[in-house]
Structures are given as structure tokens and as C-alpha cells.
Amino acid sequence: MDIEKTVLQLKEVVEKLSDDELSVLQFSVPWQFQPEYSDYKTDADGFPLYPSSTDKEEDQFTRRQLQDECWNKFHRNPQINTSVRGLQGRITGRGFETTSENRDVQEVIDEIELDPRNRLYNFWPKYVGRSNVEGELFLCLTCHWRTGFVEVDFIDPATINEGGDDDTGVIFHPDKTTMPLFYNISKKDNSKDDYDQIPSIFVARYPELLKIAQQHDNFKVKY
């Protein structure tokens, strides 16, 4: 079979087709398959290759379940692990530094970054990795009012899972579903309804949002 001749003939036929005919033209490729063939339901990592249903309510995962799955993939899949660690090196590897031309500002940066309570010089790569694996990063910033020192603490996303909207551990703005207002941080003993509430950066910037959060049934009278 002369492949080149066949391709030229096919090209001539296609060029003669009208726009209406081209709009309904379909091709078949060797790697297509029918969904009913069970051998093609998942890939090598176990993920489905096609949606099992068009129903949006089916197979809904919680934020906690998705994060756990991402964390497991990071540890078990060498490609994902290498990719994340490569990103850590490119962003916060050798030569990375936080600097300012203003000496006073640089002194504050050094105080926050080098203080043994923060050790950001050690944790920057870890923070980059966690944010890439889990899709979000929770850092609690505490300003010591006597000295002005800013303490940086990491919050494990797994501890944000009690109460809030849809039991996600997060209180969102009622009209802005992607704007978190407060996070419910569960205690280590996992006692139900025993958690601390930490305001998001949005509340820190716009304190008037506190009034909106106070209307939530899960809000604790603390502020």
C-alpha cells in the first residue's frame, strides 16, 4: 500500500468538502476505546481514564480525602516525588534569599527569617513542597505586640476538618465561596467541637469581615 499516495488522495477529497461537511467530519484513531471495556477504566496509578457518570453528585470527595490522596501520591509515585522536589530546588534552592535594599527592612527580614522560632531558612523548601502537593499552605502569623516580632507557625491542613461550611473546617464568606474567613483548628486529642478559630488573611486586612463571620452558626464568640 502506497501510504504517500493515499494521503495525497485523502487531502484532495478533504479540500473539496464544504464547510457543512467538514463540521461533521470524524476520525478514528488507534488509541480510542469504548468505555464499556473494563481493561481501560484506570491508568497505571489507579485514576479513572473517563468519568463514570455525568452526575455531579456522584463520587464527591472531601477536601481532606483529596489532600490525603495527593500526599500518598507524592510518597508512592517517583515521578511526582521527583517533580515536587525539583520545584523545591528551583524556587528555594541554592542562591535563594530574601533581600531588601532598605537596611531597616532587611534587619526585620533577617529577624523573622533567622530567628530559631521560625527557621525560615530551613522551612522555605518544605513550605514550597507542601503547597505544591496539597494545593494550599496554612501559615499562622502571630505578632508579638510588645516587641513587634512576627512568629510563623505551620498548620497541618489535616487539622482543619471540624465544623465550618459543609464540615470542611473553614467558614467562608456567604457570597464569595472562595474567600475563607476563619479556620477551625482541631486539637491534638481530636475532641469533637473542641477547636481553635484562626482568622484568615482577609479578616486581617479587612476587619469589618468579622461581622459577617459572626453570623455563622459555627462561629465561636471569642473576638
> 121, 136, 151 — which closes off a domain?
136
**Domain presence at residue 27:** no
**What is the rounded CA–CA span in Å between residue 203 and residue 112?**
22
Residue 181: exposure state from Cβ atoms within 10 A (0-12, 13-18, ≥19): buried
Q: Which of 216, 201, 223, 82 is nearest to 139 (CA)?
A: 201
The residue type found at 94 is R
Any residues with CB less than 8 A from the CB of 167 and at least 6 apart, and which?
62, 161
**Domain presence at residue 100:** yes
Number of compact structural domains in the chain: 2
**Domain presence at residue 208:** yes
Do 70 and 128 have their domain in common?
A: yes
pTM, two decimal places: 0.62
pLDDT tens digits, 186-223:
876 555 567 888 899 899 899 999 999 999 888 886 65
**Domain presence at residue 56:** no
**Domain presence at residue 73:** yes
Do 131 and 164 have their domain in common?
A: no
Do 125 and 164 have their domain in common?
A: no
Do 200 and 164 have their domain in common?
A: yes
Any residues with CB less than 8 A from the CB of 84 and at least 6 apart, and which?
74, 129, 132, 133
Write the CA distances from 90 to 94, 128, 168, integer angstroms: 8, 10, 33
DSSP string, 77-111: -HHHHHHHHHHHHHHHSTT-----SSHHHHHHHHH
**What is the rounded CA–CA span in Å between residue 199 and residue 183?**
6
Confidence check: pLDDT of 4 > 80? no
Mean of the per-residue pLDDT values for the chain?
Answer: 81
Across the chain, where does the E strand assignment appear?
A: 139-143, 150-154, 170-173, 176-186, 195-199
Using left for φ > 0, alpha for ψ between -120 and 50, and beta otherwise, residue 95 falls in left
Of residues 87 and 48, the one with the higher pLDDT is: 87
**Domain presence at residue 151:** no
Confidence check: pLDDT of 103 > 90? yes
Do 81 and 119 have their domain in common?
A: yes
Its domain, for residue 186, covers 160-222
Confidence check: pLDDT of 127 > 80? yes
**What is the rounded CA–CA span in Å between residue 181 and residue 206?**
10
